[in-house]
Structure 1
Amino acid sequence: MKVDKNLRSILITGASTGIGRETTEFLAKNGFHVYAGARKDKDITSLSQIPNVTPLKLDVTKSHEIEDAFSLIETNKTGLFAVINNAGIDVLGPLVDFDIEAFKLQLDVNLLGVHRIISKFFPLILQSEGRIINISSGMGLASVPFSGFYCASKAGLEAYNDSLRRELMLINKKIKVIIIEPGIVKTSIWKKDYPKDLESSLFHQSYLKWQKINVSPYEPNKKSLTPDIIARKIYISLIKKRPKLRYLVTERNFIYRILFAAPEKLKDWALRLVISRQKID
């Protein structure tokens, strides 16, 4: 498709659904040309129907697809104002029941994938004096049971983001490194079947109780965010001359901040109490 070179171009990973898809559509309607990365052909076809969007076959674990995406952007001569690292997965279940390969998969997408994208596209960001936006999670700030791999990957992203920002400020203060920290969002990452190989686990009952109170954002009584709220916050972080270093975006920011600041023993006690009171039908 013909690219309008009057628009600032950005690259977003994980654009097929949820936050990525909503952000792609919102930015494309509001003054940006979007290179939208997705893994599946059907999602690439769908993204191609959106004005001001150039879909890319882009799996952040595959170096050749990252190279191809970089080559296309260079060929188009649009430059790149921002990279938005949104692609992510959640390997769900008790930590002690998983082998090392599950942890490697989690880190390969959520953390190493971010590094692959940034290291490859950084020359374009340096040239435009643009922005790097990393999508983290409230669970990168406070860990919860049965998402330990996910929490570890997002905590690692928090550290990576801070180190990158502090390195880049030494060479170019105009480049902005921003992190977005959503709470529970209604996205497909949470639509998971119960891992059947955990039915014999020592944590089976506790896991079922935790699932009832935590990872069911699609239930009508769950107070969770919709992806468009995150998309608008990403837009703000792109257009503000002096954006915040981090954006915590939750249903109740004040309550979240209190929880994050609470003593660890108090968090443990409260969590154990809440889980123990759950009843399994």
Structure 2
Amino acid sequence: MVLNRDALNALSRSFRALVMEAREGYQPLWPRIAAEVPSETRANYYAWLESLPEVRKWVGARQVQNLAAQTYAIENEKFEMTVAVARDDIEDDQIGLYTPLFRQLGIKAAEHDDQLVFNLLKEGFTAKAYDGKSFFANDHKIGKKTFSNRGNVPLTRENFRQALARMRSLTTEDGSPLGFFYRKPIYLVVGPALEATALEIVGVQTLPSGGSNPDYQAAEILLSPWLVDSAEPYWFLIDGAQALKPFVLQRRTRPEWIVKNDPETSEEAFSHDAIVYGLRERKAAGYLFWQLAYGSTGA
């Protein structure tokens, strides 16, 4: 291939199409547990709901139920992915070697959204939520009441039932049930090490000892590849049936294709005899409503 500007621009468009097509074809996991919110500035500020509004009989004047008791900021971060293609390979028409590579880049770019959101789960035992507590904590407040969405127990059938019962028992300050974790989907999020255990609890119709499984399809298993190493015993329950979500994926910019392909001016071409292609985007993931998520360290 002759390395003139037209040829290099056409090659860039070809590589970009491979990346974007693969990215768009990826089936993400994060929309099941997180809401996507556009961002127009450096950070978004979210109003914390002190008490979720309820329908009441209209007697006398309306009772205004305030939503914004405090605000919680999530700042956008900048991310990049950059690769270099040897100039010799372009000159020698070896472009086909890079076709699967650029498709894989598109998949990894899309998968990064999943990674950001699912990392919130394993970091939620220490990372702070809007109320200044760890997202998974034993002392969250609703009014003057204290509630827990955290456990330190392994994944067993009995512990699964107790966790579900605990989250179903959340109430408003006046004792009205929040009504979470009653409608499906409810997600049981585990890593590869707990997949078999989760399947035994909610994924099979018949118990190993015989008889029907009363917990069959009580939750849908959501397998996270990021729950490994020290997070291997972690497990979570997520209410996916609400308009609200426990997490947010905040998007400031979509992935932007950037290329340095001018052999005369590119530093990379001059120093390393390579053409550089990359993606740039700004986004963030953060915590919203702890009432919709339960987490256990499995300890």
User: RCO higher in 1 or 2 (8 Å CA, sep ≥ 6)?
Assistant: 2
* Higher strand proportion: 2
Q: TM-score, normalised by structure 2?
A: 0.24
Q: TM-score, normalised by structure 1?
A: 0.25
